[in-house]
Structure 1
Amino acid sequence: MANSRFEYVKAFEQTDNLLPNTWVVVRIDGRGFTNKYNFEKPNDRRALDLMNAAAKAVVTDLPDITIGYGVSDEYSFVFHKTCTLFERRASKLVSTIVSTFTAYYVHLWSTYFPQTPLSTPLPSFDGRAVCYPSVQNLRDYMSWRQVDCHINNLYNTTFWSLIQLGGMSATEAEKFLAGTLSADKNEIMFSKFHLNYNNEPEIFKKGSVVFRDYELVEPGTHNVAEAADDLAEPVKQSKTQEEGDRKRRAKARVMVDHLDIIKDDFWDRRPWLLSNKPGKVPKQT
């Protein structure tokens, strides 16, 4: 680029490189468009499937993402602590995730809502990047989001049951549930409407996890948190080896599932999520 007298404006740019050697989570949220399209309450399976399809496309497009977790109109995407994509610039990472996700969401809309055409204002998302220094911090973040999913879904399922099946107004239902515990909500649904919350679809209760599909390994007997921090330490590799790993990740099948990510078993059986080293490709059956 040729120099000019206008080039001084570059000096106003601020560096926004994220802290090195930390896990980066980019979390996106829908910007208040769900009410416009009258999604079914308490859960609209079409809307959740659309979110998952967009998230799967993002993870497929960006091999640097190790795992994603979504619930309702939010999604969290995790970059390994060794990731150097865009030199770890927060603005680049966030804008890439948000724009890519939004593009796929709008593109795939008609697949899941064929009878509901989009109109302005179009669906959009905001995003933020947060650094977590340890594997335990990262897992606690993921656990927090899944616990939040359960708490909100249990409340919403009970709340909308009182309205849709019990004939209450929103104000009456809110007042009725004030101060209730999880056991109370389960009992309300079962005693009033013969609904067993345990029979709700796993996607509603646990949210959705997006990750690359490799062969599961047998869980060890080690302390997961301590071993995982060791596992996540960078291994010295040549650029050729790093590029080879990246290509293997890019070729791996990306899947969406609805699993418990709080317990050790999920992470123990999928060590590639923390090591950032591709696993074995599952045998075709």
Structure 2
Amino acid sequence: MANSKFEYVRNFEQPDALLPNTWIVVRIDGRGFTKMCAKYEFEKPNDRRALDLMNAAAKAVVTDIPEIAIAYGVSDEYSFVFHKSSNLFERRASKLVTTIVSTFTANYVYLWPTYFPDTPLSFPLPTFDGRAVCYPTVQNLRDYMSWRQADSFWKLIQLGGLDNKEAEKTLAGTLAADKNEILFSRFKINYNNEPEMFKKGSIVFRDYELAEPSSHDAAAAADALAEPAVQSKSQAEKDKKRRAKAKVVVEHLDIIKDEFWDRRPWILSGKPGQPGKASKEIQT
């Protein structure tokens, strides 16, 4: 009831607005997943079923929320990126984080029987926490994504049974060849023969026809915007429909190199790509 004597409690609500004209990343992590891995006997250092389940839940989130430009996942974490020109209903940290976490968790639990048909869930059920961070430039965003992908090897070591301190001590001062030897000697894993998902993690995005790398500079165009362009309602609705029709895919590619971004300008531009047959890109 408006204007009641109890309404004063609204004064305790604190603003949690996110910075305008920035890339918003909502990163979620599994809560207590070390115990969960043991409880459900996940294979170490990677359980293909568990990773496929994470990817399926993330794909459902990206499909459901058209403002998400791209998502990246490794192990029990996923980062969802909102384009800085996204016409979000509310740029509030609590709103976005709870939306992403609840949507992801709901799909994770719903899809569990598909990937673990002989292992029903029991209490305590899997849960996730999240946080929102703003990045002002494309370079900041790409550096963040590169950091998460570079961290995928660290995740391999941790999932193999080492905690943070043990992993840090083990990897200190090592070269790539040393890291590969650690994986082989500890877990009998030849890194070079591992599936791309285990090495590079998973990228979720809307797929369109690949562009020629030299035909544009989406990163410069995105950073050049002093403020995101305000779309008309009709144009925004058209773009939304085009995104809804686009196929959401899960790929395992190198996102540290320029090639991934140059061939997919729609991720940084915020504009739907060209319809047509989307082709896969082979990266090394």
TM-score by length of 2: 0.86
1:163: which partner in 2? none
* Offset of residue 12 of structure 1: 1.7
1:13 aligns with 13
Q: Secondary structure at the match of 1:49?
A: helix
CA deviation map 1:204-256 (0-9, x unaligned)? 00000000011110101877754552379633431211121122112211100
Equivalent position of 1:140 in the other structure: 143
Q: 2:282 matched to which residue of 1?
A: none
Amino acid at match of 1:198: N
SS at the partner of 2:70?
strand
Give the alignment partner of residue 155 of structure 2, picking from 142, 152, 155: 152
| Structure 2 equivalent of residue 121 of structure 1 | 124
Contact 2:218 2:268 in 1 (8 A): no
Report the CA distance between 1:129 and its aligned residue: 0.1
Corresponding residue SS for 1:54: helix
Contact 1:86 1:93 in 2 (8 A): no
2-structure distance, mates of 1:147, 1:98:
24
Corresponding letter in the other structure for 1:254: V
- Amino acid of the structure 2 residue aligned with 1:26: V
1:93 match? 96
CA contact (8 A) 1:25 1:129 kept: yes
Would the aligned equivalents of 2:209 and 2:278 in 1 still touch at CA under 8 Å?
A: no
Q: Is the 8 A contact 1:231 1:274 kept in 2?
A: no
Structure number, greater radius of gyration? 1
Instruction: Please name the residue that 1:25 is paired with.
Output: 25
What is the CA deviation profile of residues 74-118 of structure 1, one whole-angstrom value per residue up to 9, with x for unaligned ones?
000000112242320110000000000000000000100111111
User: Could you tell me how far 1:46 is from its partner in structure 2?
Assistant: 0.2
* Post-superposition offset of 1:185: 3.4
Does the 8 Å CA contact 1:146/1:206 hold for their aligned counterparts?
yes
Contact 2:219 2:268 in 1 (8 A): no
Deviates more, 1:14-23 or 1:173-182: 173-182
The CA distance in 1 between the partners of 2:273 and 2:167, in whole Å, is: 48
Cα 1:92–1:192 shift into 2, 3 Å:
closer
Which range moved further: 35-44 or 268-277? 35-44
CA contact (8 A) 1:54 1:101 kept: yes
Alignment-mate amino acid for residue 263 of structure 1: K
CA deviations on 1:182-223 (whole Å, 9 max, x unpaired) are: 312334666899864211100000000000011110101877
Contact persistence 1:232–1:275 (CA under 8 A): no
What CA RMSD, in Å, does the superposition of the two structures yield over aligned residues? 2.9
Instruction: Indicate how the Cα distance of structure 1 residues 125 and 266 shifts in structure 2: closer, same or farther if over 3 A, else same.
Output: same
Aligned to 1:213: 207
Please give the alpha-carbon distance, in whole angstroms, between the structure 1 residues aligned to 2:175 and 2:122. Answer: 40
Instruction: Give the corresponding residue for 1:77.
Output: 80
Matched, 1:54 2:48: no
Instruction: Answer yes or no: is 1:266 the counterpart of 2:260.
Output: yes
CA distance in 1, matches of 2:42, 2:229: 46
Cα shift readout 1:38-65 (whole Å, capped 9, x = no counterpart): 2110100000000000000000000000
- Is there any run of 5+ residues in structure 2 with no aligned partner, and where? 280-284
Measured in 1, the distance between the counterparts of 2:195 and 2:260 equals 19
The structure-2 alpha-carbon separation of the partners of 1:181 and 1:7, relative to structure 1 and needing over 3 Å to count, comes to same
> Which letter does structure 2 place at the counterpart of 1:7?
E
The code of the aligned residue for 2:11 comes to A
- Gap change, CA 1:274 and 1:175, over 3 Å in 2: closer
State the identity as a percent: 73
2:199 is aligned with 1:199: no
Describe the SS at the equivalent of 2:271.
Answer: coil
Please tell me whether the aligned partners of residues 239 and 271 of structure 2 are also in contact (alpha carbons under 8 angstroms).
yes
Deviations for 1:138-191, whole angstroms, at most 9, x for unmatched residues?
Answer: 0000000000013433x468x67xxxxxxxx99xx9799565433123346668
Distance (whole Å) between structure 1 residues aligned to residue 168 and residue 264 of structure 2: 44
Equivalent pairs counted in the alignment come to: 273
TM-score, reference length from structure 1? 0.86
In structure 2, the residue corresponding to 1:78 is in which secondary structure? Answer: strand
CA distance in 2, matches of 1:212, 1:43: 26
